[in-house]
A and B are shown apart, each in its own frame.
Chain A
Amino acid sequence: MSMFWSVTLNLLEGFGMTLTLFALTLLFAIPLGLLIAFGSMSKLGKTFYRKTSGSEGKEKKPFAVYPIAALCKFFVWVIRGTPLMLQLIVIFYGPGLLGYDLLPRFTAVLIAFSINYACYFSEIFRGGIESIPKGQYEAGQVLGMTRVQTFFHVVLLQVVKRIIPPMGNEIITLVKDTSLARVISVYEIIWNAQAYIKREGLLWPLLYTAVFYLLFSGFLSLLFGYIEKKLDYFKS
């Protein structure tokens, strides 16, 4: 029995690291994701019209060059297109290999996770924002609101409601993805559990970690269900 408790305590300590990483990643990734979402929707730039001869005589085809949007989309492509494990290795070891000072291990993990999740979040945010009918903005305009006012007072809450299910997916994935932090020696719950295999040939602590993950993701599912219910007064 005492063995069971010492393993539980040790795993709890690792799970503390898991949860810290989870919470801080959300804290940084959500605002950053919103910023990237706005960036990739940015219409700053220029629209060129090219004359082409179509079937109905001459017509003008618009061709838009939006540098901020292009930059954001390029960034999202790179981050979503490469494994998070590789990003962890590059962010932690990269500066040292190039002769600069290293970041602390936890900071490096936090930066990698925040950037990675911000990119996924940004696409969910963009989808949510673009799904709001144009009529909502027009209604705001009629009432004399500015575009910014319309966004924050009319649109945003509707967006929040629509993106809860996909955000729930990503956030629960994040809980489990935190275990990747162990590749640069940030000791989270899976590392602690694997130590029992290396040291004593004990397999059950690793299987036991499932209980911690399940309980926490169960709690998150309930929380998302509750939030969705709370926002149910929008019938759109």
Chain B
Amino acid sequence: MKLTKRILAGACALLMVASSSMLFTGCSKKEGDDKEKTVADIDAVKKAGKLVVGITDYAPMDYKDENGEWTGFDAEFARMFASDLGVTAEFIEIDWDNKTFELDSGAIDCIWNGMTIVDEILNACSVSDPYINNSQVVVMKSDVVGNYADLASMTELKFAVEAGSAGESAIAETITNVTPVGTQGDALLEVASGAADACVIDATMAAAMTGEGTSYADLAAGAVLTEEEYGVAFRKGSDLCDALNKYMDKIIADGSLQALGDKYNLSVVTK
């Protein structure tokens, strides 16, 4: 019995040493990456002949047209950038929760999907200059939306928000009755079904998904909460980030980004 115990204890100790050493090497490697190393992604992308773009189904940024092809503001923008690099853009629909895993492991080259620039993303990735101005808006049934001008008047309402979204943090201090749901689409569904009185989503999405002629004709956007910007995320230190910034300066100057923004009714950055 004693011998069994001793062997067991030895095995446990070995396991702990092994796992902790793995942890340490993991950490030190990452710190090295953070400092100065430039990742030569441009060469890799050119060699592969394609830029792999991580997206989700998120109108009007990325969505499928009648033929099943990806389209939308971001899809077109990404194709323009890819052809400027001399490659084609390949779109992969990802699980949004795993986006940094996708990026760091090299499964995708960038996250380009109406992504709000927040501190967490800046810590984990290299993020391009902002290209769209967005805001978080409150969406509710259109017959009551006029009754609520600001958050202070809404403290009694039940809210639905996407878990971990910018909308969730925008109401965190004022509203107590909040249900976090999986996606912004789920949040809209909560309001449409009456499970929640209001939800907070991106203004760009609210513009595309609510009001007459959409799936949510009886919903409307009301109070504007916070202003924010969209950016494209690359691997930390990737040279693609600089390349996109330079390309963006060019198409802002010649007006083609503005034209794309007008097409999808979005407010693009002007300088």
A interface residues, Cβ below 8 angstroms from B:
50, 63, 89, 92-97, 102, 105, 182-185, 187, 195, 197-201, 203
Contact = CB atoms under 8 A, between A and B. Distances in A.
A73 to B, nearest CB: 12
A89 B105 CA distance: 11
Contact of B95 (A50, A96, A185, A203): A185
Given A96-B107, A195-B57, A198-B56, A183 B185 contact: no
9 contacts: A89-B101, A93-B105, A97-B101, A102-B107, A185-B94, A185-B102, A197-B186, A198-B57, A200-B215
Nearest to B108: A185
Contacts of B3: 50, 63
Given A92-B105, A197-B183, 6 more contacts: A96-B106, A96-B107, A183-B98, A199-B57, A199-B63, A201-B215
Given A89-B98, A182-B95, A201 B107 contact: no
B95 A93 contact: no
B59 interface: yes
B196 interface: no
A187 B183 CA distance: 18
B171 interface: no
A198 B183 contact: yes
Q: Which 9 A-B pairs have the closest CB atoms?
A: A96-B105, A93-B105, A198-B185, A96-B106, A93-B101, A201-B189, A200-B215, A97-B105, A201-B215
A198 B57 CA distance: 7
A197 B58 CA distance: 11
A102 B102 CA distance: 11
B216 A201 contact: yes
Contacts of A95: 105
B259 interface: no
Given A197-B186, A197-B189, A198-B185, A93 B59 contact: no
A63 B6 CA distance: 14
Contacts of B101: 89, 93, 97
A46 to B, nearest CB: 13
A184 B57 contact: no
A201 B188 contact: yes
Contact of B106 (A63, A102, A200): A102
A185 B104 CA distance: 16
B93 A187 contact: yes
Contacts of B93: 185, 187
A182 B56 CA distance: 13
Contacts of A97: 101, 104-105
B160 to A, nearest CB: 13
B203 interface: no
Residue among B58, B63, B95, B105 with most chain A CB within 10 A:
B105
Nearest to A96: B105
Contact of A96 (B57, B104, B186, B188): B104
Contacts of A92: 105, 107
A63 B102 CA distance: 48
